[in-house]
A and B are shown apart, each in its own frame.
Chain A
């Protein structure tokens, strides 16, 4: 099993969600986050004082999938999240040791 963590442009979230659904991936957890990578933020001016806003709002999508589905899922996210501009975000993959369904204690891929 693999955890896919994708930090994406908030404006692309709906299309990422649709693309994952089409690819047959079920379930995800979504958080609103703030951050930046190499991209610099923008400036805001309040009463003549400039503030550089380097932590920008992003959306983080987390999903855990069976290993055979990882490439499909990553492909779906890459295609749907890309605008081609700086700030499109990143995808991180991590190995998952175990998954347990709380309701009936099923384990492993069956729990996904």
Chain B
């Protein structure tokens, strides 16, 4: 909207600059001829051609700016999986499992990419029914330099496709945290391929796909999810809980101590995640726009206040603020701001981050212990809980002056969030959250059963005790001499 107005102003300025030329032309031709001269009409058509050319150049420049930002964003989001998440998770496991844990993230960078090219992108973003996309973009047929105006009118569809791919990669990678240190690699990869097609694709299509059930422009239940609170974090976090329950506890849990083997690695990973998240959230504006800036700022503020929230809660409860607590808090805040980032003010970002930081800490430190499930690296505690908190709070804090998403028939901007007077939005958010939870639970259970019957999802007890690095990959992370 704002961009279109800026382009209009620019064209008027161009016309004013061109004005004197036009004024001179008839004056020069007026002396010999009294009627409308062929000369004048020739000048006018020349001017039209020039204006059209200028308009094209303006559009090209605009596209170049947006495309540059979107390509950088895509690269940032890939960096979140490797090395970001790989380091974050890799540091949290025992040292006999560090490589296997990193490999689980890295392998998805390759496997999901192939799935995406074959049919994944199409199932997410081709026009289909309200639940899943069609197969028209299979093998990326017709996905080229021309923009797809359903999603982003100023960048090549290929840019949009590869940007979305990076989301499809990190989402299943997040699940690996809950079943760390005991999954069989082959079965895990089978699980991930099926999960990507049967859980991620329908959820992404429902929320973001043209004609999707939850799409915020035209869906049956318009759910606000700017960068993937439901699509990425609830689906992965809830599936992680289901998987943790299906797999069962690690050998020796909770009696045997299993502290992180290197909080240093996790620290580097978390900092890379924080930086990468700017591509994730601000990039979800799909343009180098003011909205991207707003999402960038809200994202950063939420991460900061959540780090303080989690570490502060620890400080009060245990007497010490831990490094692992501070970085876990930042990640929890980033998760929670994800759906809200393009709809809320920076102040709301601070509030959402603080709530998520304290909330996720309590999930991880008290609720998990009470129920006794072994969500090894807290994929559910951070992504499932943080994603749910964020998705609901988006409906509370969303503001029309940040992002005027809803209009009436006359084009008038309508209130968006509950604090603006649209309490119904919280209900829509809850519908989106419920669908994401149900899809993740049912889909994951079915897929786990299939993978378990075919390959056996869990390694043997001997393999688990020896460690996944040696038994699954024939390597060790640390071959240090002496």
Contacts and interface: CB of A to CB of B under 8 A. Distances in A.
A48 B319 CA distance: 12
Contacts of B257: 51-53
B318 A47 contact: no
A45 B328 contact: no
A45 B322 contact: yes
Interface string B308-335: 0000001001101010110010000000
B369 interface: yes
A48 B329 CA distance: 13
Contact of A45 (B318, B366, B369): B318
A48 B320 contact: no
Nearest to B360: A47
Most buried by B among A44, A45, A46, A47: A47
B361 interface: yes
B369 A48 contact: yes
A38 interface: no
B369 A49 contact: yes
Interface in A50-67: 51-53
Nearest to A48: B365
A48 B382 CA distance: 14
Interface residues of B, number: 19
Contacts of A51: 257, 259
A51 B320 CA distance: 15
B259 A48 contact: no
B366 to A, nearest CB: 7
B364 interface: yes
Contact of A47 (B254, B320, B325): B325
Contacts of A46: 259-260, 322, 324
B378 interface: yes
A47 B362 CA distance: 9
A47 B324 contact: yes
Interface in B350-407: 361, 364-366, 368-369, 378
A45 B322 CA distance: 8
Nearest to B378: A47
Contacts of B365: 47-49
B106 to A, nearest CB: 24
A29 B325 CA distance: 40
A48 B260 contact: no
A53 B257 CA distance: 9
Nearest to B313: A48
Nearest to A50: B318
Nearest to B260: A46
Contacts of A52: 257
A98 to B, nearest CB: 26
A52 B365 CA distance: 17
Nearest to B362: A48
B366 A48 contact: yes
Contacts of B254: 49
A48 B324 contact: no
Most buried by B among A45, A46, A48, A49: A48
A44 to B, nearest CB: 6
Interface string A28-44: 00000000000000001
Nearest to B325: A47
Nearest to A47: B364
Contacts of A45: 314, 318, 320, 322
Interface string B240-259: 00000000000000100101
Interface string B291-322: 00000000000000000000000100110101
Contacts of A49: 254, 365, 369
B237 to A, nearest CB: 15
Contacts of B322: 45-46
Contacts of B368: 48
B259 A44 contact: yes
B312 to A, nearest CB: 14
Interface in B251-305: 254, 257, 259-260
Nearest to A54: B257
Nearest to B366: A48
Contacts of A47: 324-325, 328, 364-365, 378
A26 B306 CA distance: 56
B230 to A, nearest CB: 25
Contacts of A48: 314, 317-318, 361, 364-366, 368-369
B284 to A, nearest CB: 29
Interface of B: 254, 257, 259-260, 314, 317-318, 320, 322, 324-325, 328, 361, 364-366, 368-369, 378
Nearest 3 interchain pairs by C-beta: A48-B365, A51-B257, A47-B364
6 contacts: A45-B318, A45-B322, A46-B259, A46-B260, A46-B322, A48-B318
Given A47-B324, A49-B254, 13 more contacts: A44-B259, A45-B314, A45-B318, A46-B259, A46-B324, A47-B365, A47-B378, A48-B318, A48-B366, A48-B368, A48-B369, A49-B365, A53-B257
